[in-house]
Amino acid sequence: MFSFNLGFRGTEFQTRIWQELLHIPYGTTISYEELAVRVGNIKSIRAVGLANGQNPIAIVVPCHRVIGKNGNLTGYGGGLENKQWLLEHEGAVLKQLSLF
């Protein structure tokens, strides 16, 4: 294991979201709502989605591990097909792999 300073450049809220994304284990997913709860603001689900989508280093900060509350794959800058591939590659168990 290695570590390095990612040098996040964003608002305080964005960097809190990006830092929390680093705590989602390989092969698991959480909902946008769960991510909002983890950063201490359940009412910020939409803002969480926006910050997640503005992640500048998606290959390192695993924004693809955040899915809809109903288990659907939603929003990914690299395309939903790539999000699905990444999650399958990691062995994520999804309720139902659905792009919509």
Contact 72, 100 (CB under 8 A): yes
CB neighbours of 77 closer than 8 A, spacing ≥ 6?
53, 55, 58
Catalytic residue numbers read 63
